[in-house]
Structure 1
Amino acid sequence: MNISGNTIFIPGSTSGIGLALALELRARGNTVIVGGRRAELLERIAAEHPGIDTVRIDTADAGSIESAAKEVLAKHPDLNVLVTMAGIMRVEDWHRPESFLASAESVVTTNVLGPIRLIAAFVEHLRTRPDATIITVSSGLAFAPLRATPSYNASKAAIHMLSESLRLQLADTSVKVLELVPPAVRTALLPGQETSEFAMPLDEFVAEVVTLLESRPDAREIQVERVKFLRHAEARGDYDQVVATLNAADPHGK
């Protein structure tokens, strides 16, 4: 995708990677709409960053997605980029079904059904734009599992294959499908992750992502260097070693 001149909607961007990316893309000359559940955060973002529009959306709620899509397209008929950023991560202990089932269902609803519903709400409009992009957000954990987060790993593997499949189906349209593959980044996705030495600093991650977007406009995946250890483990033939190393370093492991 071009790095400037777009109108971009990023649901799930009131904090963390989403907000940092929204601000950087705004600075690069894009119109950016931030979406999130909490009205007070949206109000603060709008006040602190004039020029950024905000829309309330709960990506775990199909009705909220439908309403937000109508609002975004009414205000921004030139929308040409959708970033399905919203996601949650939960530590689960599958020895005890009563402890993980509700959590697992929530992860799948937010991380898999959310992006599917978002894309369904916007794809018809995006097909009318001469140059449009859907950016999905998977994870290095789609390719090498973290023991403590089974449902999250599975949800991101699903997003990877969804991205691959949509790219094939939409190849005859103006819509490109680009998959962002983050490593662990210093955000509040899990308790303690914001200060974890294991995680990549947020500003470094976003800077590298934007550089890759700019330098590789025809890329299918955006992979910062730090995620390649996980992303290409199977292809390199060191998958077992990578999984062992990942889980040995995991502060949530048991």
Structure 2
Amino acid sequence: MVGRGDPKVTGVLPVALDRATRVIGILMHSYKEYVGVMELHGDVEPEKVIETMKMFVGKIYQRPPLRSSVKRSLRIREIYSIDVLEIENRRVLFRVKCQSGTYVRKLCHDIGLLLGVEAHMRELRRIGVAHFTENRDIVTLHEVSEALYIWRNLGDESFLRKMILPVEYIVAFLPKIVVKDSAVDAIAHGAQLAVPGISIVAKNINRDDRVAIFTLKGELVAIGRATMNSEEMVKSDRGIAVKIERVYMEPNIYPSVWRKSGDKIEKDV
């Protein structure tokens, strides 16, 4: 008899080191992609299973399960896609792409209720977190351990460098704004990004989008929320373009061309 205890869960887990922990949190709020096995508690025609699972694509109401780390309040989550890969007897192999915070085991439970036979999640593998996927840039902890051993004992850091990606890769999926050198240190000290400090703007930025701010050399400065769209940033000559949420760049790395006057930051030019 098959047990219905804790399912086997494996897959992609981005890990940040040192100052990169300042920005790794944005991945927690990005989309996730999973491959899972759902086990039905009764016999159902495959066509009905496929048809029913497709009904869950879109925005759904979901209450976290009893064993969860968040408050069990009803909330809305979005399912971007569900694909049935294989059905064998009562086991359904599927792939789902969903909004962060979606409980896939609760999704399986709800699908079973709609089918009228109940169901539970037997296995789950996370195959993607935003642009981090199993097919790219993923290494095992065993491989990291071997690379660390080679560096410590043989002095060869080449293997370790192939495994540890620069922090800029974390924000690769965000629209980008490149700022002038004169604006970098002000942002590093807590200033908002004003239009005069912008050098290059991505075309696809809308108001309230989360954006990544870079130097002209391609270094990550900060992450923030756009208060203007791309067109407004290009056409305006003043105003706050981005409200900063998280600063990555350390102060005093770039030359300071501004001065403080009370609580106001002004250019010293």
Same fold? TM cut 0.5: no
TM-score by length of structure 2 reads 0.24
- Structure number with greater Rg is 2
Q: Going by fraction, where is helix more abundant, 1 or 2?
A: 1
Q: Going by fraction, where is strand more abundant, 1 or 2?
A: 2
